[in-house]
């Protein structure tokens, strides 16, 4: 009788919940806004930042797709003239012994045998050579050296630099930007230059920029222990015709990431492993481009609203 009574009671409870429209799955689910307790939660997804790229695409099109020229990890200096110096260098080398040279007028050999191209009497007063067998060579170099040479900053591993620059360019191009190659612009502008000509490379570079681009994008980067990416970036976007600064961005270019935690059983207990998805040199370069495009888009929208 007790078993029968218990069965009838359970049946009554289930019937009541059925009449109230509460199913067994809902009855088991006690937490709100989460998957059912017996269903595995979907894996997290990286945030999609293509909305920023599409917004840049739209505003860039409205601005008639201006031409960008990129200065990657180099600064546009304020010098307008290239300075040169004529030089003459002389070097004497000895093997198998020792050589010392002073002044000019004469040469003298003390001990041993001297073979090879010696130091001329017109360039040294005396040359003392010691050693059983000494070979001496003189090298004369005459030429012209450029004094204020603008070069890219060499403060980063070449492979990392290549990954950053290529991914930055790729994201800009996906946003519809017309990206002018700096080297090609300079080469085509100075195509008539002569080999023995002291070219004003600063003026040549300026002519190339003015003639072939509308906006200058200057990216300067440096390693940083304070940054989560290990790098810090300064991006400046300048209107070439007027010199107006359109955007200035300081960023660590940290891309969105997802940390997945797993545990590995070892002889010393469980070891916690963290796998960071979405972090690489390429994603840092893409994030730098996205941060820069966001600032440019905001500027263009602001100027459009002021019209």
Structural domain boundaries of the chain?
A: 50-82+150-306, 84-145
How many degrees, rounded to 5, is the angle at CA 84 between CA 83 and CA 90?
A: 150
- Mean local confidence (pLDDT), 173-181: 94
Q: Would you state the pLDDT for residue 84?
A: 55
State the residue for tokens 């004497």: 92
Q: Is the dihedral of CA 164, 166, 171, 177 positive or negative?
A: positive
pLDDT single digits (tens) 79-114: 656 655 665 666 655 555 555 544 443 344 344 333
Alpha helix segments (H runs only) across 65-213: 158-174, 182-189, 201-212
The residues that bridge with 109 in the sheet, in sequence order, are none
> Are residues 75 and 148 in contact, defined by beta-carbon separation less than 8 angstroms?
no
pLDDT single digits (tens) 69-86: 999 988 776 665 665 566
pLDDT single digits (tens) 12-71: 545 554 544 444 444 455 566 666 666 677 777 777 889 999 999 999 999 999 999 999
Give the dihedral of Cα atoms 115, 116, 121, 127; nearest 10 deg.
-50
pTM of the full predicted structure?
0.66
State the residue for tokens 């045998």: 113
């Amino acid at each position: 009788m007790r078993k029968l009574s218990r069965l009838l009671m359970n049946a009554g409870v289930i019937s009541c919940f059925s009449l109230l429209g509460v199913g067994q799955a809902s009855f088991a689910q006690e937490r709100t806004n989460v998957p059912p307790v017996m269903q595995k939660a979907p894996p997290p997804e990286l945030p999609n930042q293509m909305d920023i790229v599409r917004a840049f695409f739209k505003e860039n099109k409205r601005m008639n797709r201006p031409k960008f020229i990129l200065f990657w990890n180099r600064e546009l200096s304020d010098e307008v003239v290239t300075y040169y110096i004529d030089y003459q260098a002389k070097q004497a080398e000895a093997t198998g012994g020792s050589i010392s040279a002073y002044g000019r007028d004469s040469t003298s050999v003390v001990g041993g045998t001297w073979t090879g191209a010696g130091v001329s009497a017109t360039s040294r007063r005396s040359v003392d050579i010691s050693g059983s067998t000494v070979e001496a060579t003189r090298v004369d170099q005459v030429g012209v050296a450029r004094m204020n040479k603008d070069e890219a900053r060499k403060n980063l591993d070449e492979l990392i630099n290549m990954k950053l620059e290529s991914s930055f360019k790729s994201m800009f191009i996906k946003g519809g930007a017309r990206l002018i190659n700096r080297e090609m612009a300079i080469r085509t502008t100075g195509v008539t230059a002569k080999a023995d000509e002291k070219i004003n490379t600063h003026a040549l570079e300026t002519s190339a920029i003015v003639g072939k681009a509308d906006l200058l994008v200057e990216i300067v980067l440096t390693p940083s222990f304070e940054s989560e990416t290990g790098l810090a970036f300064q991006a400046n976007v300048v209107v070439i015709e007027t010199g107006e600064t359109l955007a200035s961005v300081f960023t660590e270019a940290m891309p969105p990431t997802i940390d997945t935690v797993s545990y590995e059983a070892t002889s010393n207990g469980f070891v916690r492993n963290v796998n960071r998805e979405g972090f690489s040199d390429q994603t840092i370069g893409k994030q730098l481009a996205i941060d820069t495009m966001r600032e440019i888009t905001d500027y263009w929208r602001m100027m459009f609203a002021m019209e």
